[in-house]
């Protein structure tokens, strides 16, 4: 029988980790003073570490043959990422590169990207957890941690915030406000607006619904905690490459 109290306690443990997915340099990357030369390594590393290959991570987890309900949610997520079939009919990788064109970056900027040392360690972990771990840890890392954010506590809580109209969100996006990106290039946030809230709930339901034993919960917690530690190191490396120094 499912122990509701144990499940809620486990959810709180994971949410406490997601509360820490908030890097000190983000205020610089999303602020008005950063230049395009500093944004380039940020977006290059994001693309090469997980944006480009996110569907592959999902496909590896699907191929582990988890229960049917899990396969359904993974397949839906994979379909959207690879084709945009639930939103704008364009893959999220292509929408990302379109947004980069709006920043006046060249297509060649996103070919043959060399991973920074700390980016490589984080990417190696994502490959390891999707190739070699049980599907449950892999699903937790990819759909809760990688796809999630510091906002997960609000998004999956009992009273998620009301979303502003999508075009209002686009107009207030830091790339539009600070870097003059035309809203016509911002279809990636539009696609996310249509599907991400559903993906957040699906991710948490998949993990909480199947991590029932204390042993499985510990495995998931350890995997997400390792992801958080490596993510912070990865973001430290990107900040260093962009010449951003931590405030003292």
Give the chain's end-to-end CA distance (angstroms, integer): 51
Which residue, 219, 226, 160, is CA-closest to 10? 219
* Burial letters 35-48, b for 16+ CB under 10 A, else e: eeebbbbbbbbbbb
Taking CA 175 as the corner, what is the angle to CA 169 and CA 178, rounded to the nearest 5 degrees?
Answer: 110
pLDDT of 247? 84
Could you say which residues of the chain have pLDDT below 50?
1
Our CA dihedral for 60, 63, 66, 72, rounded to 10 degrees, sits at 90
- CB atoms inside a 10 Å sphere around CB 207: 24
Predicted TM-score (pTM) above 0.75: yes
Q: Which helix (H) or strand (E) holds 4?
A: helix 4-18
Q: Which domains does the chain have, with CATH numbers?
A: 4-158+206-241 (1.20.910.10)
- CB within 8 Å of 64: residues ≥ 6 apart: 134, 135, 138
pLDDT of 248? 72
Tens digit of pLDDT for each residue in 119-173?
Answer: 999 999 999 999 999 999 999 999 999 999 999 999 998 889 999 999 999 999 9
Q: The tokens of 240 are what?
A: 């260093």
pLDDT of 2? 60
């Amino acid at each position: 029988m499912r122990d509701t109290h144990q499940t809620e306690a486990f959810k709180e443990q994971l949410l406490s980790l997601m509360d820490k997915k908030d890097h000190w340099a983000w205020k610089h990357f999303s602020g008005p003073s950063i230049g395009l030369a500093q944004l380039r390594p940020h977006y290059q590393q994001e693309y090469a570490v997980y944006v480009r290959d996110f569907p592959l991570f999902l496909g590896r987890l699907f191929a582990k043959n988890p229960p049917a309900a899990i396969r359904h949610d993974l397949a839906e997520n994979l379909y959207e990422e690879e084709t945009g079939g639930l939103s704008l009919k364009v893959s999220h990788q292509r929408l990302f590169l379109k947004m980069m064109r709006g920043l006046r970056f060249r297509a060649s900027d996103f070919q043959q990207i060399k991973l920074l040392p700390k980016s490589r360690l984080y990417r190696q972990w994502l490959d390891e957890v999707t190739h070699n771990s049980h599907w449950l840890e892999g699903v937790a890392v990819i759909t809760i941690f990688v796809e999630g954010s510091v906002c997960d506590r609000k998004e999956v809580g009992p009273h998620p915030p009301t979303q502003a109209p999508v075009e209002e969100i686009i107009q207030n996006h830091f790339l539009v406000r600070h870097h003059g990106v035309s809203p016509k290039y911002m279809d990636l946030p539009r696609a996310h607006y249509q599907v991400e809230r559903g993906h957040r709930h699906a991710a948490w339901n998949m993990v909480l619904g199947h991590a029932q034993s204390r042993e499985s919960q510990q495995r998931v917690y350890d995997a997400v905690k390792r992801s958080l530690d490596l993510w912070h190191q990865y973001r430290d490396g990107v900040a260093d490459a962009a010449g951003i120094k931590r405030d003292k």
